[in-house]
Structure 1
Amino acid sequence: MTNLKTLAFFATPPHDCSYLPDREAVTMFVDPRADINKRLYSQLTALGFRRSGSHYYRPHCESCSACIPVRLNANLFRLDRGQRRVLSRNTDLDCELVPAGFFEEYYQLYELYIQQRHADGDMYPPSREQFTSFLVEGATDTHFLEMRKQGRLVGLAVVDALEDGLSAIYTVFDPSEERRSLGTFAILWQIEEVRRRGGSYLYLGYWIKACRKMNYKTRFKPIEALIEGHWQELEPT
């Protein structure tokens, strides 16, 4: 059986960094032939790895440590005023966790989101194959959080279940519903779901101090960061 001691890892050649201009990045990948079960996935996540489709990876840059894994302790988290307003604005939504899969309704929302919000990013232009390989394939225990207003899908969050909580993989939403702050709402919903399951943590991926698009993660407090191999509370900035 595959475990941390028997896993093989591979590193990519240097490539353009997706987050910081004029920098190169190196990514470490778990051997794609490895059998990754829920226990091993949970261990990898606690070590700072993320899942993208069937790939498990983490930054491995020799001269840069800007990408910092972060997580929330659901049992210590407390809402601030702005987050309470987000919950209040979305009381009319029906939310449900469903098994991950491809449905045209999901893809149409994903396509709209990428085209209007991330046309300058790596995922543009979107495609059905991209949606499937990124969000559906390789799932170990994955669900989609449907956010609906009177039956209409307005938001979709991809959520992986771990032994110690959940991992927030990705969220898309209808840009016309921007005032709802559905990205924030999805995180708040997942924090509560961690509590309902008796877990501890919601993993939020990487935080980069110099990347403005990631500033929202530090608005959830207290937030923990994996620094030099140890999880510790991230100091307010």
Structure 2
Amino acid sequence: MTHQPQQSPQFFLTAPSPCPYLEGQMERKVFTHLIGDKAAEINDLLTQGGFRRSQNIAYRPACENCRACVSVRIVVQDFKMTRNMKRVWQHNRDLIGRPQGAHPSTEQYALFRDYLDARHHAGGMSDMTVLDYAMMVEDTHVDTKVIEYRKRGPESFMDPKNDGELVAAALTDVMSDGLSMVYSFFSPHMPERSLGTFMILDHIERARAAGLPYVYLGYWVEGSRKMRYKTRFTPQEHLTANGWKRYEG
């Protein structure tokens, strides 16, 4: 008898654990492995169905008594910056964003560590080591980039090595219909730059230039202060029980 390889992903359910977004709630996730030559195709389909990627795992909430997590994607073609977003964009004109392969560096980890210690010191990622960070970046079977944002130096256009210090980075999946921002981090010592907002704006422009219709931001949770920023980037679409629905804010 010939063995036929498994073509369809197998899904598993996690045990309940405390929700990181809503106090008093418990969360469960359904997940599958993203491996093999169909990983990118499966990741596209699952992301369009509300899943997120973490290393070689695609997951989505499967909570028994809560449906607060809503998948969000920005509609690139119709997006227009607000006045405040234009100010953020102008303020960061001295930054250069360069896509790299999914290769971690000690410089990235130092910035990542600085970001976690300042912004998420009590979070689930707070004890990540340099090896954990390397796995987060490298363990991918899809088209993943690390977009590094550096201060523009006087020789930047002639010699990329003179781009200056790394101030922000985004781990981004390139999909058939958009860019998925898997994880981003930035220097916590430059609040005037609003680097988190800038990176989303930059991804919108990158998607527009590539002819991709969406930028996927992951989950928005109504009532969660840390998720509130995501609904500022309109128009966007939210995934509902009846498919993706337009949201204007």
State the TM-score bracket (shorter-chain normalisation). over 0.9
The alpha-carbon distance between structure 1 residues 71 and 44, as it changes in their structure 2 partners (threshold 3 A), is same
Report the secondary structure of 1:203's partner residue. strand
CA distance in 2, matches of 1:179, 1:30: 40
| Structure 1 unaligned residues grouped into runs of 5+ | none
CA change 1:76–1:177 in 2 (3 A) is same
Q: Does 1:138 align with 2:140?
A: yes
SS in 1 for 2:98: strand
Aligned residue in 2 for 1:38: 40
Where do residues 114-153 of structure 1 align in structure 2 (5 Å cutoff)? Answer: 114-149=116-151, 150=153, 151-153=164-166
Give the direction of change, closer, same or farther, for the CA distance of 1:66–1:188 in structure 2 (3 Å limit): same
Q: CA–CA distance in 1 between the matches of 2:221 and 2:137? A: 23
Paired residues of 1:160 and 1:169 also in contact (CA < 8 A): yes
Task: Note the 1:191-210 alignment, pairs <5 A.
Answer: 191-210=204-223
Shift of 1:179: 1.2
1:186-209 per-position Cα deviation (integer Å, ceiling 9, x unaligned): 111111111111110100000001
CA deviations 1:84-109 (Å, max 9, x no partner) are 01101101111111111111011100
Distance in structure 2 (CA, Å) of the matches to 1:166 and 1:61: 27
Q: What one-letter code is carried by the residue in structure 2 that aligns with 1:160?
A: D
User: Distance in 2 between the 1:233 and 1:55 partners?
Assistant: 28
Shift of 1:2: 5.9
Q: CA deviation at 1:55?
A: 1.0
Change (3 A) 1:156 1:33: closer
Equivalent of residue 216 in structure 1, options 214, 229, 241 = 229
Note the alpha carbon deviations across 1:144-185, whole angstroms, 9 max, x for none: 111101310000111100000110111111111121111111
Bigger shift: residues 138-147 or 187-196: 138-147
Structure 1: which amino acid aligns with 2:244?
Answer: W
Q: Which residue of 2 aligns with 1:159?
A: 172
Distance 1:135 1:51 in 2: 11
Q: Aligned residue for 1:12?
A: 14
* Bigger radius of gyration among the two: 2
Match 1:189 to one of 183, 193, 202: 202
Tell me whether 1:73 sits opposite 2:82 in the alignment.
no
- The residue number in structure 2 matching 1:176 is 189
Amino acid in structure 1 at the alignment position of 2:185? V
How far residue 223 of structure 1 moved from its aligned partner, in angstroms, is 1.4
CA distance in 2 between partners of 1:95 and 1:132 (Å): 21
SS at match of 2:208: helix
Root-mean-square deviation (CA, aligned residues, Å) is 1.5
Give the AA of the match of 2:101: P
Cα distance change on mapping 1:36 and 1:130 into 2, 3 Å: farther
Structure 2: unaligned runs, 5 residues or longer? 154-163
- 2:43 is paired with a residue whose SS is helix
Per-residue deviation, 1:136? 2.7
Bigger mean CA deviation after superposition, 102-111 or 26-35: 26-35
Report the residue type matching 1:28 in the other structure.
Answer: V
| Further displaced range: 41-50 or 26-35 | 26-35
Comparing 167-176 with 27-36, greater Cα deviation is found at 27-36
Which position in structure 1 is the counterpart of 2:90?
88
Identity %, equivalent residues: 38
* Count of residues in correspondence between the two structures: 234
Using the alignment, how far apart are the partners of 2:30 and 2:129 within structure 1? Answer: 26
Structure-1-length-normalised TM-score = 0.94
- Matches of 2:140 and 2:101, distance apart in 1: 13
Whole-Å separation in 1 of the counterparts to 2:101 and 2:35: 24
